Amino acid sequence: MNVLVVEDDALLGNGLLRVLEQSGYTATLASDGNGAQAAMGAGDFDLVLLDLGLPDIDGLEILRGLRRQRRTIPVLVLTARDGVEQRVAALDAGADDYLEKPFDLRELEARVRALLRRSHVMFGQEARLGPLTVNPYAHEARIDGELLAVPAREFEVLEVLIMNAGKVVTKARIAQRLTASNDDIGDNAVEVYVHRLRRRLGPHGLTIRTVRGAGYVIESA
Ligand code: CA
């Protein structure tokens, strides 16, 4: 998960970065509005933490610009204490949530988790097994929140296995999933992809067990 932190207070900004990284996220800091817009144009973020009081561009303007581009990325706004009007304006401009400064870092972490969970649910059912999460809609596999590169056909095999985690999936069923998108697969294609997935997932404590004469089952150690 990539989080963009937009905060001009260096002490707070770096503190947020540290907390997010400790929680397993990849975090990038932008210290003003121009930096934030450049980062959003260049990178792919799952969440933005946005301070409204920035030295160059009003945080609300950045938020409105993002929504004008129809970008649905979740935005958590950081506002001043008792800034009721600011909070209302932020929500009207398309903020997903807000936190009043000063805030407890545990609360920040909880809000970040909730927003990311919500945005992923919107994009379709996400399957989870141990450190692995698979989002079929986004075509993403992640280990502890970090993207794991999985080639297309292997991903299809992984998808069938994890959607049935703990249950035996027959070889025919996997082959069926593969032929749905590729008309030309060899006899041992399933074995080849399962073999590659084992090597890819093994280091993360995930195993694909062969059940003799029946099929495969994915498990977490
Ligand atoms: Ca500020």
Q: Which of 78-82, 165-169, 178-182 has the lowest average pLDDT?
A: 178-182
Whole-number pLDDT of residue 81: 72
Interval between CA 42 and ligand 1 midpoint (Å) = 23
Chain segment 100-152, per-residue pLDDT in tens = 999 998 899 889 988 887 776 554 567 889 999 998 767 899 999 999 999 98
Average pLDDT over residues 95-104: 91
| Joined tokens for residue 95 | 């903020």
Structure confidence at residue 6 (pLDDT):
98
Q: How far is the CA of 195 from the centre of ligand 1 (A)?
A: 51
Q: Tell me the CA–centroid distance for residue 5 and ligand 1, in Å.
A: 12
d(CA 201, CA 220): 10
Distance 8 CA to ligand 1 centre (A): 5
Percent of residues, the chain, with pLDDT higher than 90: 53
Question: Contacts by 181-188 with C-beta closer than 8 Å and gap 24+?
Answer: 181/156, 182/153
CATH 3.40.50.2300 fits 2-122, yes or no: yes
| Ligand 1 center to 6 CA (angstroms) | 9
- 47 CA → ligand 1 middle, Å: 18
Question: Ligand 1: distance of its center to the CA of 176 in Å?
Answer: 55
**Per-chain mean pLDDT for the chain:** 88
Phi and psi torsions of 132, nearest 5°: -95, 130
Distance of CA 44 to the CA centre of its chain: 10
Helix (H, G, I), strand (E, B) or coil at 16: helix
The sign of the dihedral angle between the CA atoms of 24, 64, 42, 52 is negative
83 Cα–ligand 1 center, Å: 13
Of 116, 120, 6, the C-alpha closest to 52 is 6
Angle at 44 between CA 108 and CA 160, to 5 degrees: 90
CA of 60 to the centre of ligand 1 (A): 12
- CA–CA distance, 86 with 109 (Å, rounded to integer): 22
CA of 179 to the centre of ligand 1 (A): 54
Per the CB < 8 A criterion, the answer to whether 27 and 21 are in contact is: yes
Ligand 1 mean position, distance from CA 52 (Å): 6
What's the CA-to-centroid distance between 51 and ligand 1, angstroms?
6
Q: Ligand 1: distance of its center to the CA of 7 in Å?
A: 6
What three-state secondary structure class fits 148? strand
Across 48-57, 80-89, 177-186, 200-209, least confident range:
177-186
* pLDDT tens-digit readout, 30-74: 999 999 999 998 877 889 999 999 999 999 999 999 988 877 789
pTM above 0.75, yes or no: no
Asked if 132 contacts 201 with a C-beta cutoff of 8 angstroms, the reply is yes
Report the separation in Å between the CA atom of 70 and the middle of ligand 1, taken as the mean of its atom positions. 25
Structure tokens at 36: 């934030």
Residue range 183-206: average pLDDT? 88
Q: How remote is the CA of residue 2 from the centroid of ligand 1, in Å?
A: 22
Strand segments (E) across 83-181: 97-100, 127-129, 132-135, 140-143, 146-148
Q: Where are the beta strands (DSSP E) in the chain?
A: 2-6, 26-30, 47-51, 75-79, 97-100, 127-129, 132-135, 140-143, 146-148, 206-211, 215-220
Residue 186 vs residues 5, 112, 179, 183: alpha-carbon distances, Å: 48, 44, 10, 10
CATH of domain 127-220: 1.10.10.10
| CA of residue 116 to ligand 1 center, whole Å | 24
Q: Is the pLDDT of residue 199 over 60?
A: yes
Domain boundaries, the chain: 2-122, 127-220
